[in-house]
Chain A
Amino acid sequence: MEGIGHVPQMQLWGQPGEALGTVNYVTLIMTWVVMGIIVAASVLIVRRLKEVPGRVQIVVELFARMFDGLVKEALDRDDRAYLPLIGTLFLFLILSNWIGVIPGLEEPTRDINTPLSLGVMGFFIWHLSGVRAKGLWGYLKGFFQPIFFMMPLNVVGEVAKVISISFRLFGNIMGGAIIIIVVSNLLFYVVVPILLKGFFGIFVGSVQAFVFTMLYLTYTSVAVRSD
């Protein structure tokens, strides 16, 4: 059980200490695997769209309609500008969290770099959409709400959003993975790990992917809506 929470790293172009940088290669490979699965599945499904939907198409349509409804309700707009972002984010996260169920594969979200980069991406999306929706002046005025001296607190709060959204996902996935490793070791890999993988991998993974996506959407709606 040594090395819990350790992420495999590789030095790029050079010896340790003087290398250009380090790569968390397992995370990188798994991220590309997840992206590959999503792209391949999308291409295959979209190519076979029919007037009378088959089984797979019904599931995909249900998913798209559900997220379309969620995004429309949250943003109170009729266009679908944010639907691809939110939908893809959820697909990526849920597949990333589920992929750890397969022995030998690791969740990309177990590495803090994945959730944190999604959080930083969100930071720019929220603020730039805020500027676009309200104009620069309206956007800056938002920092002085409800009273002007709340400004420093609002600025810190914006940074805290990125930390909290990314560490929530990371902590849950990493926690589940550690619990599975330790309990499996204690019980000599008898039956229980399967149940644990079902609970932490599938169930908690789905809930946390949904929470991350919903927070992304909610923060976007807070930035975009003016009322």
Chain B
Amino acid sequence: METYWAEAIKYLAAGICMGFGAIGAGIGEGYTAGQTVLGISRQPSVSGQLIKTMLIGQAITETSGIFALVIAVLLISPGVGAGDNIVVSMAAFLGAGISVGIAGFGVGIGGGFPAARACEGIARCPSAAGQVNVTMLIGQAAASTPVVFGLVVAFILLYTHFSGSWEKAAALLGAGISVGFGGFGSGIGGGLPGGTACAATARRMDLRSQIIGTMLIGQAVTQTSAIFALVVSFLLMFTTGDGSSIVKIAGFLGAGISMGFGAIGPGLGTGIPAASACTCIRINERTGSVTTRVMLLGQAVAQSTAIYSLIIALLMIFVV
């Protein structure tokens, strides 16, 4: 393999990273702007406040796009060099691009929900603006966890000198796929409770702390599948792979695919009960503790498929 192959893969990875990373932020910000326009038609007198909230919300939503931009710029800059083994370096570049690009895709969409519902809520109840803004910021910050995980893996992939052969290359690519796709579902799912929490805060300012607490617990459980994906990609990155056995190669890639794709559904699905729980507290605050426990139980069952994926991925890393 010639060195220019590594250069070529860097450009491909930068394209994947920025391309996919831009989709989510675009959708999320557009949704926010749409709700703001509707809100202004309902309350023209608070258009200034609405535009301010919209811009703050969009700026935070764009974080995932900015992360993708940082990785893409690093990939096409000459600072990141290929290591001793070209194949391993190529896999690391591709893995870095996929991890931030796809995770950012999901988080961008997810970040749009709190921002949009905050604008809608402020239009409905302008006096709650300050509190809704706080809920929105906390919700968006907590919802962006999956793309931060993607970024961690991408930086480790870019700046660690991995040694090994084809097996290592498969493991690194698998690590990128795992954390990238694993963050996609959790990114969207973590945004859903953020959205309903903002809407709920606007209507019931007095229940704000209870709503934020439920939102944070719901979001945290939503991200469990992204955390499993992070664990699998750490294991894949720091496993040894000196040989080029086709069984091992397929096993490492399969582990990444199993965990990455397996986490999409649970990540997205567990967001739905969390979103409902926030609305539930707004409707009847006395149901708070039972709501939280039913939410946790439902999420735990919905998450079982992510646990199956984790077990299969671990088996393929350590047993195959």
Contact = CB atoms under 8 A, between A and B. Distances in A.
Interface of A: 1-2, 4-5, 70, 73-74, 76, 153, 156-157, 160, 163-164, 167-168, 171-172, 174-176, 178-179, 182-183, 186, 203-204, 207, 210-211, 214-215, 218, 221-222, 225, 227
A214 B231 contact: no
Contact of A175 (B138, B148, B220, B231): B148
Given A74-B289, A207-B138, A174 B224 contact: no
A24 B137 CA distance: 35
Contact of B149 (A74, A171, A218): A171
Contacts, number: 97
B224 A164 contact: yes
A178 B152 contact: yes
Contacts of B227: 163-164, 167-168, 171
B292 interface: yes
Nearest to B144: A204
A178 B151 contact: yes
A4 B137 CA distance: 28
A156 B155 contact: no
Q: Is the interface of B mostly helix, strand, loop or mixed?
A: helix
B223 A5 contact: no
Q: Give the interface residue-count category, chain B.
A: 35 or more
A171 B146 CA distance: 9
Contact of A160 (B155, B159, B290, B307): B307
Contacts of B288: 73
Interface string B279-309: 0000000001110110010001001100100
Contacts of A210: 216
B162 interface: no
A157 B149 CA distance: 22
Given A5-B156, A175-B151, A176-B148, A215 B228 contact: no
Given A73-B289, A74-B289, A2 B148 contact: no
B311 interface: yes
Best-buried of A4, A167, A222 by chain B (most CB within 10 Å)? A167
A215 B223 CA distance: 13
Contact of A156 (B141, B149, B307): B307
B70 interface: yes
Contacts of B217: 211, 214-215, 218
B284 to A, nearest CB: 15
Complex A-B, nearest 4 residue pairs according to Cβ-Cβ distance, in ascending order: A175-B148, A164-B224, A167-B227, A175-B152
Contacts of A2: 159
A220 B202 CA distance: 31
B244 interface: no
A204 B224 CA distance: 18
